Amino acid sequence: MPELPEVETIRRQLVEKVVGARIKKVEVRLAKVMKNSTSGTELLEGKAITGVFRRGKWLWLALEGDWALAFHLGMTGQLVWEGKGELPPHTHLLIELDRGRLRFTDFRQFGRVRLGKSKEIRDYLEEKLGPEPLSPIFSASYLENVLAKSRRPVKALLLDQKAVAGLGNIYTDEALFLAGIDPRRPACTLAEDEVKKLHEAIQKVLAEGIAHRGTSIRNYVDATGVAGEHGLFLHVYGRGGQPCLRCGTLIKKIKLCGRGTHFCPHCQR
């Protein structure tokens, strides 16, 4: 589920809710979600949360003592701040705070949590992720260079977190539609003006996704447990067989890079 706009939405809300809060107790309810499980989450007890950061689809809590707790939500992960109440099923990590609690809930169990010193976590993320698509480092010429080096379908490159961090299946399909580019095109065949359009489209779809607090197709909710509104604004994702909003041609759904891929065969060349 959660791509950059969803994770950024959660981050912004958590900044308001948990920065300054102190951890009372951490309960790992499904051991395998702890990825680099050094011993312990016990060492976090009593520490205050000093910040909430995002890198690509990763979100991490900065904690006193230069510790960091990083989350990747996989396909169906939720990170929700709330008061007491019955705990939903598939809640794998529970952080009790002096104000409310933070729960990590993920029914498909693809999500992961890493605990480490903050430098360790930052290094790990820098090593595996390409530039942030909404930062100046992600320029049109950077994108041009990356695409020029590969014959793979352009969609495969956009999904590659090392090429650019944070795009997933929804926003990739949407960006390619806005740019008018067929997802199957070998990356190196894009002309300079097409790369420019694609670069612009990527930043636009992500910004809109954030403005609408993310896309709730299945079970995504933001950090307050509320669904996102961006599903109402999708052009192609999930619209296979329906008319293109621009030209009326039926949206095609195919399998590409092992993923459902939606595009307009008329608008995208």
Partner DNA sequence: AGTATCCTGGAA
Partner DNA sequence: TTCCAGGATACT
Q: Are 5 and 210 in contact (CB under 8 A)?
A: yes
Q: Does residue 151 bind DNA (CB under 7 A)?
A: yes
Give me the least distance between CB of 114 and DNA, in Å please: 11
Q: Are 247 and 264 in contact (CB under 8 A)?
A: yes
Q: Is 3 a catalytic residue?
A: yes
Q: Does residue 257 bind DNA (CB under 7 A)?
A: yes
Q: Does residue 43 bind DNA (CB under 7 A)?
A: no
262 is in an annotated binding site: no
Kind of pairing between the strands at 77-82 and 91-97: unpaired
Q: Is 259 a catalytic residue?
A: yes
- For 128, phi and psi rounded to 5 degrees? -100, -5
Q: Are 24 and 17 in contact (CB under 8 A)?
A: no
Q: Does residue 217 bind DNA (CB under 7 A)?
A: yes
Residue whose token pair is 């403005």: 211
Q: Does residue 212 bind DNA (CB under 7 A)?
A: no
What is the rounded CA–CA span in Å between residue 24 and residue 235? 45
Candidates 18-26, 130-138, 167-175, 196-204; binding stretch for DNA (CB under 7 A) = 167-175
Q: Are 71 and 111 in contact (CB under 8 A)?
A: yes
What is the rounded CA–CA span in Å between residue 51 and residue 208? 25
The CA angle 162-158-241, to the nearest 5 degrees, is: 150
Q: Which amino acid is at 222?
A: D
Reading phi first (left if > 0) and then psi (alpha if -120 to 50, else beta), residue 46 is in left
Q: Does residue 57 bind DNA (CB under 7 A)?
A: yes
Q: Where are the alpha helices (DSSP H) in the chain?
A: 4-18, 118-128, 140-148, 154-159, 169-179, 192-211
Q: Does residue 216 bind DNA (CB under 7 A)?
A: yes
Q: Is 5 a catalytic residue?
A: no
Catalytic annotation, pick one of 17, 54, 57, 112: 57
Catalytic annotation, pick one of 22, 24, 47, 259: 259
Q: Does residue 40 bind DNA (CB under 7 A)?
A: no
Candidates 8-16, 131-139, 193-201, 216-224; binding stretch for DNA (CB under 7 A) = 216-224
**Residues binding DNA: number (CB under 7 A):** 39
Q: Does residue 183 bind DNA (CB under 7 A)?
A: no
Q: Does residue 107 bind DNA (CB under 7 A)?
A: yes
Give me the least distance between CB of 216 and DNA, in Å please: 5
Q: Does residue 153 bind DNA (CB under 7 A)?
A: yes
Give me the least distance between CB of 253 and DNA, in Å please: 7
Instruction: Count CB-CB contacts under 10 A for residue 203.
Output: 15
12 is in an annotated binding site: no
Taking CA atoms, 188 is separated from 154, 172, 235, in Å, by 8, 17, 25
Q: Is 265 a catalytic residue?
A: no
Residue whose token pair is 């950077």: 142
Q: Which of 168, 183, 222, 223 binds DNA (CB under 7 A)?
A: 168
Binding residues: 90, 108
Contact residues for DNA, defined by CB under 7 A: 1-3, 6, 32, 56-57, 72, 74-76, 89-90, 107-110, 128, 150-153, 156, 159, 161, 168-170, 214-220, 257-260
Active site residues: 2-3, 57, 259
